[in-house]
Structure 1
């Protein structure tokens, strides 16, 4: 956690300026997600980075609690919210297991481009399930490291050694779906825009 926080704090300025890799796919994910949002929805986004997605969804919900382990990322996020005059998003430094949330607190939880960066995916998915209200949904977009070019398997450890990459879990699509269903979720929507990534919406039974 400490090494990952250091990495993301150092990366924050560059990350904030980076362009979205696939704008069309990103827009589709926003649209699909909004089909699950309601004006009274209470939303949690963990691993929110510089807050761009949370701020785009803010007009469609009652409140978004956005979290990240990087305080430097959240400094940028808070400035974006201020400039956009968005007042229904609150930013908090921390992770799913360090922040004090109540059981069944949220209607929707977003984990976008974050699950493959977590050291305890099983535990964090279980935590998401507990934090969702009955009938709530978990929206995730995940890099499938195990399905990428095998060369990345050799390159990533080298990049990590020199501080150019954070912790990365070698998740496959099958492993992720299996973990979600074993936890109690039902897959409500699945889209794979590329071999190396999957967008899922998992529902907690009402």
Structure 2
């Protein structure tokens, strides 16, 4: 935990200033997620970073608990929530294994699953926190897929060198079928999927706990 936490603490302020890479794709999946939420829901977002998405969705749920490995990320999130006048979002420094237990109506993990080194264990921890019939909503870059294009192909090739110099975190190279298979094995039935954006494929998945 320390290594990843240190990386994200160091890059929190620059991360917070970075623009969203594909705003139409982000807004579309934000809308799809909102369509699944109810104002009576207690929701959890794991690996929420600075909490920007949670703050945008806060009016759609009763309460949303935000967790992240980075204390610096969470401090920025608290600042943003205060500026937005949002009072039903709480911030907890945690990873999937020690996040609040719930059970929650909805658990979300956006742009997180490719960054954890034991995805199978994290998905089991997530499933344990979703009530029976509840939802798991995630969005995950799947950079093991073919046809990434020159720009992303070069970036993918550079990741190991960047990691060597502390310029990139751990990254798991996932394919869409592998990701969906692991989510199903964790105890979920997938009810909606799609790539937003298409390249590189960022797989949006809505799954219901069995």
CA distance in 2, matches of 1:155, 1:7: 17
Which residue of the partner structure matches residue 171 of structure 2? 168
Which residue of the partner structure matches residue 108 of structure 2? 110
How far did residue 100 of structure 1 move?
A: 4.3
How far did residue 151 of structure 1 move?
A: 3.9
2:130 aligned to 110, 129, 132, which one?
A: 132
Deviation per residue, 1:68-97 (Å, 9 max, x gap): 010000110000111111110000011111
Matches within 5 A, 1:19-98: 19-98=19-98
1:199 aligned to 2:204? yes
How far did residue 184 of structure 1 move?
A: 1.9
CA distance in 1, matches of 2:56, 2:74: 16
How far did residue 168 of structure 1 move?
A: 0.7
2:143 aligned to 142, 145, 151, which one?
A: 145
1:182 aligned to 2:185? yes
CA distance in 2, matches of 1:185, 1:100: 20
- Structure 1 runs (4+) greater than 6 angstroms displaced: none
TM-score (norm 2): 0.93
CA distance in 1, matches of 2:101, 2:16: 28
CA distance in 2, matches of 1:56, 1:40: 17
1:155 aligned to 2:153? no
Q: CA RMSD in A?
A: 1.3
Runs of 5+ unmatched residues, structure 2: none
CA distance in 1, matches of 2:189, 2:36: 15
Go from structure 1 to structure 2 and tell me whether the alpha carbon gap of 1:201 and 1:173 turns closer, same or farther (over 3 Å shift): same
How far did residue 145 of structure 1 move?
A: 2.2
Paired residues, number: 203
Q: SS where residue 135 of structure 2 aligns?
A: strand
Runs of 5+ unmatched residues, structure 1: none
How far did residue 99 of structure 1 move?
A: 3.1
CA distance in 2, matches of 1:25, 1:100: 30
Q: SS where residue 145 of structure 1 aligns?
A: coil
